[in-house]
Structure 1
């Protein structure tokens, strides 16, 4: 059941986000300053072929290609990897979006989008994959994302797993990573189309809210799982900001447990939550839990029924659908501006 899987994922996020080594689950360890948030080409790769005269952008990657991942490790690709594994749902979505589905030999237990991902061999969790299954997959390159931390990365590398880590913290990071993966896998044309679509989504939202005066910006509270919200420094907070809202938890950093009293005092005008998420213990939807909390009927968002459900996967995965989540956020905050 998804709800059980989501709560397992939630608990994994909570453990990682509260560790002493990390301020939040999305913060990378050991990355160079200029690489914070994503990997990047160590030296700009030369694209062979250039642009076709007819206007069709048909860039080809010239190998060998040097690329540095979010941990600061340099990779040299003699050719495009043929056998790919992904232990991160966001990165799995990117690989499929670039047309690489037939080259994927394994995915994490949480990789369920697109539908084809469900049929791929499963390699365990996003935090600590099944080592035997990962090795047996025989991938030329294994891609991981924000949930796997440095100790797990280094352990797998010690087992000769060729592990490439991405660590996006902003939409710009996600878009850059899409283009970088297009370079690595020689799918630059597909990557450019995807990046352009994501940039168009973002522009649609920012154009719609650009004339909202600072004093008119709505106060927003987001509860991404029961009892948890997010502060500064994470992409979910950026989604609120780009949507023209003010995150009432912005004084916090990373993923934090909510203080019910502080939320009541902050009096948000809009509450965002993952729709159709059912709490394991109470068997209630998250919006039911929010409405039934003691004293929360005083909050303006609850009184005026300004609770907006957003898709739980798009809002939690810094992948190619993250700008779809941005549009959903903006519709929830300013439905009169974003259609």
Structure 2
């Protein structure tokens, strides 16, 4: 798939001593690493809304970083990270993005660093202080970038709240805390809109949901899309699975979802869903509840994830979410 499929299959650096300090593996860290990408370590402080450096934090892989100052040259290997960085007003510091980055419009004109796994030669040429990427970056790419002494900072939010935490984290690293708080305030407002609208929803009123973001692929527990379905007043019929999984067509027939969501930007995906043998008996198809959602919003747990949440909740409970 153009975006989310690649995020799944794959599903997103130079001399950082001067700009960001030296990265090193965390030693003796016993507390769990936050899925949102990291947390400030004891001894790292902020004054008002300005970050105080040196700043020591961990990323989503458990690696510990000490930033001597805010990064000045940034490469992003993920459309999600890129959206966060631009939302924080860091466009002028971004010196490279992945080939898939298309939002905001300004991202399209940035130098391309290859697909979600990155192109080492392009990244070296960009001379970044830090490279932001998802934990989906394959092992070979991680090893290569680490061998090149690149500061590779990885994140992997698993819930809507963790997506917000990542915005705050990036604001802290880049001395953009006030802007990060503004972005998160809007995200919280949109999430609260859904929570308030569905507060009277009874368990028996929740809709059974199946979501397909790439032909033959759905998502189970432990991922942000499952969290979104729950927040939107739905029950994920694939919740007995873990992570991104290929579907069993027969299992979906048996689950009989009330609503089917699909990534509308994927060519012929709706036609594929409707054309499967026996699926014409599924309640969602019989009731005309096969709903296309923006595949970028579905695939990117960034600043717009709560807009996708609102869209999902409206589709599930149009009488409650306006």
CA distance in 2, matches of 1:67, 1:296: 49
Paired position in structure 1 for 2:60: 70
Is 2:167 the counterpart of 1:174?
no
Paired position in structure 2 for 1:19: none
Output the aligned Cα RMSD: 1.8
CA distance in 2, matches of 1:224, 1:337: 26
Paired position in structure 1 for 2:293: 310
**CA distances 1:100-155 after superposition (whole Å, capped 9, x unpaired):** 001100001111110100100000111x2110111110011111114214443233
Alpha carbons of structure 1 residues 85 and 78: separation in structure 2 relative to 1, 3 Å: same
Paired position in structure 2 for 1:46: 45
Is 2:274 the counterpart of 1:291?
yes
Query: What's the secondary structure of 1:40's corresponding residue?
Result: coil
Is 2:212 the counterpart of 1:223?
yes
TM-score computed with the length of structure 1 as normaliser: 0.86
CA distance in 2, matches of 1:217, 1:209: 10
> Any gaps of 5 or more consecutive residues in structure 1?
17-29, 51-58, 279-284
Is 2:111 the counterpart of 1:112?
no
Equivalent pairs, count:
305
Is 2:134 the counterpart of 1:145?
yes
8 A Cα contact 1:273 1:309, kept in partner: yes
**Correspondence 1:324-339 to 2 at 5 A:** 324-339=307-322
Q: Which one scores higher on RCO, CA 8 angstroms, separation ≥ 6? A: 2
TM-score computed with the length of structure 2 as normaliser: 0.90
> Any gaps of 5 or more consecutive residues in structure 2?
12-25
Query: What's the secondary structure of 1:291's corresponding residue?
Result: helix
**CA distances 1:275-330 after superposition (whole Å, capped 9, x unpaired):** 1320xxxxxx2112111211111111100101111110011111111111111111
CA distance in 2, matches of 1:200, 1:11: 30
Selected match of 1:34 from 26, 32, 35: 32
**Correspondence 1:265-276 to 2 at 5 A:** 265-276=254-265
8 A Cα contact 1:32 1:72, kept in partner: no
8 A Cα contact 2:120 2:144, kept in partner: no
Alpha carbons of structure 1 residues 189 and 15: separation in structure 2 relative to 1, 3 Å: closer
Paired position in structure 2 for 1:54: none
Is 2:79 the counterpart of 1:84?
no
